[in-house]
Structure 1
Amino acid sequence: MTADDRLFLGASRRPDDSYQQAEELLLKYANRHGLVTGATGTGKTVTLQVLAEGFSNAGVPVFCADVKGDLSGIAMMGEAKDFLAKRAETIQLDPYEFQEFPVIFWDLFGEKGHPIRTTISEMGPLLLSRLMNLSEAQEGVLNIAFRIADEEGLLLLDMKDLQALLTHVAERSDEIGARYGNVSKQSVGAIQRTLLVLEQQGAEHFFGEPALNIADIMRTTRDGRGAINVLAADKLMMNPRLYATFLLWLLSELFEELPEVGDPDRPKLVFFFDEAHLLFDEAPKILVDRVEQVVRLIRSKGVGVYFVTQNPVDVPETVLSQLGNRIQHALRAYTPREQKAVKTAADTFRPNPDFDCFEAITQLGVGEALVSTLEAKGVPSMVQRTLIRPPASRLGPITEAERGALLKESPVAGQYDKEIDRESAFEILQKRAEEKAKAEAAAQEREEQEEEGERGSRWSMPDFGDNGTSRRTSRSRTTRPRTRTSNRQTVTEAAMKSVVRSVGSSLGRALVRGILGSLKKGF
């Protein structure tokens, strides 16, 4: 089913309705991207499964989303079914062998696979604005917030970091606005309310650490097969904007981290973007330009991107022109819009004189598709009406017990299951707020003490100990203060005081002698 340099897709139908010619995808041109389209129930999921199997056997890792849960069966050995055996016989697939494939299950919510996380910083303001559907003014505020975080060394890891940063920006809106432009508290409040909605939808599981290491989705087994990374997206599809933003983030990370390799013999990774229309619905032009840029340039990184959607008009023309390998399942053409979609699909193929593409697209059966792949020198092959080969793995979902066993045996088991919460913007800003509150409290206390001191006496008493203090205190309570009418005296007053002191002294001495004399006589 897989040669050294190509993948077997199925057999093309000849004018006599026989299927003989093999339709193959050259691995050398598999990084030129591709498109798988078709109405619901026409076989897109099985085609995706067949492509993933082929790439895995060729040693190419695969990342794909399991939107309905049907793709998980790729991890288990296929089971014999009559319609599968009949298809294998029709396209002369002999032998038709069953096989199980190395699968790693992922889940943003950590329920059906290993958690996938990234940090707020890695997501960036552009994708976050898309995720939150922000207005131009709100997106500008978010860009300013990221700038402040860079200047102040604030790590943005999870949603509480972003919430704390926005509060910080709002408190300093006047100062920040003077440097970077108006930062209205109304815009900040609108962003915070949107974050609350995302948190209620489960987006907080996606932001945090440990962040996904891109190398873990590019693993190969010891026998040389590429790992098939299956993202459980059934619950994620309840929030289609988060789904689209996550896949675009992953694509951007691959583009930024992988080295240039030119055109390798086979891709380093193949990325399937299922329900691709969700990426472009109501997307601003700047985001569409970003997707176009990544798709155009990531080819040189050795990554092939395959968009899977119902209708080719779901993909912008600028992106559609970059997709070289195309598989078109049946479309219906009952309404003018459907007819336009069929005509668009038919016009993108290199015509085949044996049939009319427009009519063929509307007449294809389940499992049939119009196939055109890149041939030598990257030239599209003539479109062929092809019956896609049956898958080698199980069709349909696996059981919960089987999934649990595979998760335990996973090469990344235990690596992402426990969330890490290290110091980041939330903790740093919280410490700053506490230190600021302590400083303000201390300043207030000093101010109160100073005010109290001003209301009291200007003088203070020296400390002589308890005894001295008590004696001085007792004395001060009983002694009346002496008053002076004046500190100045005349010359006459001074002379009179001197005479009085002299007379007083002489008289005192005479009295003493008299008293002493009478005492002696008595003895």
Structure 2
Amino acid sequence: MTIPPLFIGANASTGVVIAPRMANRHGLIAGATGTGKTITLQVLAQAFSAQGVPVLVPDIKGDFSGIAKPGVVSEKLQQRAQRVGIEALKPKAAPAVFWDVYGEKGHPLRLTISELGPQLLSRLLGLNETQSGIIDILFRVADDLGWLLLDMKDLRAMLNHVYEQRAELGPRYGNISPASVGAIQRSLLRLEQQGGEQLFGEPAVSLDDFLQVDAHGQGVVNILHAERLYRESPLGYACILLWLLSELFEQLPEVGDADKPRFVLFFDEAHLLFNDTPKALLDRIEQVVRLIRSKGVGVYFVTQSPLDLPDTVLAQLGNRVQHALRAFTPRDQKAVRAAAQTFRANPALDTEAVITALGVGEALVSVLDEKGSPSIVQQIWVRPPDSQMGPITDAERAAMIDASALKGAYDEPVDRESAYELLQQQAERSLSEDKPQTRTQGSARARKEKSMTDEVTDMITSFGRSAMRSIGTQLGRQIVRGLLGSLRSR
């Protein structure tokens, strides 16, 4: 079956479409505030959905939920539609699922600490290289013990454990500085104030729930409501999207050059992924973006200026939509020149001059053709969406959440046995064993001199039955991590 192309818009002489086979070659939507980026994002998301491709879109401003409701065709919209060659708009909604870290305007979205991994956790906490090294040690110890870190109390308990055992752990894992541990504890306190207790825990979101197609063959549009998250924890917002990118890369099979993408991920406010990011993490992000297209995943970055992205990432974005940019300052002018230079030149168009003169809903567009070559840049009107522009009401959103197939799956948090409980049991056992020690000082000294290896052996033996009762609490010694540090079981 032939898959129709994704129609973006048109000018008086030509229409511009994205070939489905080229849609996983990634893309860019750029432009100043108020120039039409959100509508372009809505048009693309609904077009992917119509092709049976599930997508995830962060909703930072709270105005994207209208994609879940058919649009109202006004005279102005109909005129815009006819301008791009659409005789009559057909109002239509896309199937949508709402997510929200805080559980206020969507299904709760939770991760576990172990799934996030040490690199993204260090980024989330804003740690320096030395402090990040201690987080690496913490995860190594937990992974070697086969313990999952599920929530914030697990993380605090494990941090205290490696601090208290630093003399024993140091020779094997590296130095554990008390000052750095104190700085990490302060960062954890900040994270808790920003909603870390709600972000981390179980039931953790399943990747499969992002990859759904409805009964009519339409891809589900996953809307991450991120108004509060972006306001209170911009790094938390960025790390959630990086975690999802990592999960898609690690979990999905290779598909090569498929007829259409398996999934499309939109990164709004994409500069947050790269600002002040440690070079080691930045290199791995760039590597994942380059490699993930073979998994059938398209990544579309949404930002104000192309200069917000590293050149190595920008070079991988084959489908580009550039809305208007302002040029009031030398830096603005540099951004305009840079944006113009990213397009394949059109002899009939002064790209640099046009960028500053575009109206709302106009854009410069270049896409990959069937052979993978970029088309010459075209100035177009972006087509109007079939769904509602602007947000739905709170009542409409609540009704959709109640009717969702995921209703009840993530509503109630679950607190299983994990590192916190295991360490607590260890401490209680040590206290009970300490009582008869007053009779024999020698035995106390012997226990004090017990090696760390013996302690680990005792803990694994003691808690083996508990692990069998709760599959998943301990993973044994088969824990490996992917490029961005996310959890992967062998």
TM-score (norm 1): 0.83
User: Could you say which residue in structure 2 is the equivalent of 1:505?
Assistant: none
C-alpha distance in structure 2 between counterparts of 1:369 and 1:417, whole Å: 41
User: Could you say which residue in structure 1 is the equivalent of 2:28?
Assistant: 35
User: Could you say which residue in structure 1 is the equivalent of 2:431?
Assistant: 437
1:87 paired with 2:57, answer no
1:128 paired with 2:118, answer no
Contact 2:78 2:88 in 1 (8 A): no
C-alpha distance in structure 1 between counterparts of 2:167 and 2:180, whole Å: 14
User: What root-mean-square deviation, in Å, do the aligned CA atoms of Structure 1 and Structure 2 show?
Assistant: 1.3
User: Could you say which residue in structure 2 is the equivalent of 1:409?
Assistant: 403
Question: Deviations along 1:376-428, whole A, 9 cap, x unmatched?
Answer: 21000111001000011111111111011100111211111111110000000
- The residue identity in structure 1 corresponding to 2:74 is K
What SS does structure 2 have at the residue aligned with 1:370? Answer: strand
What SS does structure 2 have at the residue aligned with 1:77? Answer: coil
By how many angstroms is 1:92 displaced?
2.2
Contact 2:21 2:370 in 1 (8 A): no
By how many angstroms is 1:334 displaced?
1.5
1:260 paired with 2:259, answer no
- The residue identity in structure 2 corresponding to 1:215 is D
User: Could you say which residue in structure 2 is the equivalent of 1:209?
Assistant: 202
Question: Deviations along 1:271-329, whole A, 9 cap, x unmatched?
Answer: 10000011111111112111101110000000000000000000000100000000000
- The residue identity in structure 1 corresponding to 2:37 is K
Contact 2:264 2:299 in 1 (8 A): yes
Contact 2:150 2:418 in 1 (8 A): yes
Contact 2:54 2:263 in 1 (8 A): yes
User: Could you say which residue in structure 2 is the equivalent of 1:310?
Assistant: 304
C-alpha distance in structure 1 between counterparts of 2:153 and 2:385, whole Å: 45
Contact 1:173 1:185 in 2 (8 A): no
- The residue identity in structure 1 corresponding to 2:58 is A
For residues 152-167 of structure 1, what are the structure 2 equivalents within 5 Å?
Answer: 152-167=145-160
Contact 1:27 1:265 in 2 (8 A): yes
Question: Deviations along 1:346-386, whole A, 9 cap, x unmatched?
Answer: 00101111110000101100000001000021000111001
- The residue identity in structure 2 corresponding to 1:31 is N
1:23 paired with 2:30, answer no
What SS does structure 1 have at the residue aligned with 2:356? Answer: helix
C-alpha distance in structure 1 between counterparts of 2:145 and 2:55, whole Å: 39
The range that moved more, 215-224 or 40-49, is 215-224
User: Could you say which residue in structure 1 is the equivalent of 2:384?
Assistant: 390
What SS does structure 2 have at the residue aligned with 1:359? Answer: helix
User: Could you say which residue in structure 2 is the equivalent of 1:422?
Assistant: 416
1:6 paired with 2:2, answer no
Q: How many residues align?
A: 440
Match of 1:113 among 106, 116, 120: 106
C-alpha distance in structure 2 between counterparts of 1:231 and 1:68, whole Å: 11
What SS does structure 1 have at the residue aligned with 2:264? Answer: strand
User: Could you say which residue in structure 2 is the equivalent of 1:52?
Assistant: 45
For residues 14-413 of structure 1, what are the structure 2 equivalents within 5 Å?
Answer: 19-238=12-231, 239-413=233-407
What SS does structure 1 have at the residue aligned with 2:215? Answer: coil
- The residue identity in structure 2 corresponding to 1:117 is R
- The residue identity in structure 2 corresponding to 1:438 is S
What SS does structure 2 have at the residue aligned with 1:129? Answer: helix
TM-score (norm 2): 0.88
Question: Deviations along 1:249-272, whole A, 9 cap, x unmatched?
Answer: 110010000000001000000110
C-alpha distance in structure 1 between counterparts of 2:6 and 2:130, whole Å: 49
By how many angstroms is 1:446 displaced?
6.4
What SS does structure 2 have at the residue aligned with 1:377? Answer: coil
C-alpha distance in structure 1 between counterparts of 2:438 and 2:163, whole Å: 25
Contact 2:82 2:88 in 1 (8 A): no
- The residue identity in structure 1 corresponding to 2:266 is F
Question: Deviations along 1:150-204, whole A, 9 cap, x unmatched?
Answer: 2223221111001000111111111111222211222112111111110011022
C-alpha distance in structure 2 between counterparts of 1:248 and 1:151, whole Å: 25
- The residue identity in structure 2 corresponding to 1:176 is L
By how many angstroms is 1:444 displaced?
2.4
- The residue identity in structure 1 corresponding to 2:172 is R
User: Could you say which residue in structure 2 is the equivalent of 1:492?
Assistant: none
Contact 1:74 1:395 in 2 (8 A): yes
Question: Deviations along 1:94-117, whole A, 9 cap, x unmatched?
Answer: 121110110000011111001111
C-alpha distance in structure 2 between counterparts of 1:146 and 1:292, whole Å: 24
Contact 2:325 2:336 in 1 (8 A): yes
By how many angstroms is 1:445 displaced?
5.7
Contact 2:29 2:37 in 1 (8 A): yes
Contact 2:137 2:173 in 1 (8 A): yes
Q: Whose relative contact order is higher, 1 or 2, with alpha carbons under 8 Å and at least 6 apart? A: 2
C-alpha distance in structure 2 between counterparts of 1:441 and 1:155, whole Å: 31
For residues 483-494 of structure 1, what are the structure 2 equivalents within 5 Å?
Answer: none
Contact 1:106 1:232 in 2 (8 A): yes
C-alpha distance in structure 1 between counterparts of 2:405 and 2:13, whole Å: 41
- In the TM superposition, structure 1's runs of 4+ consecutive aligned residues that sit over 6 Å from their partners are none
Contact 1:20 1:91 in 2 (8 A): no
- The residue identity in structure 2 corresponding to 1:223 is H
What SS does structure 1 have at the residue aligned with 2:14? Answer: strand
Contact 1:5 1:28 in 2 (8 A): no
The range that moved more, 415-424 or 306-315, is 415-424
By how many angstroms is 1:68 displaced?
0.5
C-alpha distance in structure 1 between counterparts of 2:140 and 2:342, whole Å: 44
C-alpha distance in structure 1 between counterparts of 2:75 and 2:276, whole Å: 44
List gaps (5 residues or longer) in structure 2: 442-490
Contact 2:107 2:411 in 1 (8 A): yes
C-alpha distance in structure 2 between counterparts of 1:295 and 1:196, whole Å: 32
- The residue identity in structure 1 corresponding to 2:221 is I
User: Could you say which residue in structure 2 is the equivalent of 1:469?
Assistant: none
What SS does structure 1 have at the residue aligned with 2:104? Answer: coil
C-alpha distance in structure 2 between counterparts of 1:425 and 1:151, whole Å: 12
Instruction: Name the larger-Rg structure.
Output: 1
C-alpha distance in structure 2 between counterparts of 1:56 and 1:151, whole Å: 42
Contact 1:129 1:139 in 2 (8 A): yes
For residues 466-477 of structure 1, what are the structure 2 equivalents within 5 Å?
Answer: none
User: Could you say which residue in structure 2 is the equivalent of 1:477?
Assistant: none
Question: Deviations along 1:116-149, whole A, 9 cap, x unmatched?
Answer: 1111111111101111111111111111111111
Contact 2:54 2:210 in 1 (8 A): yes
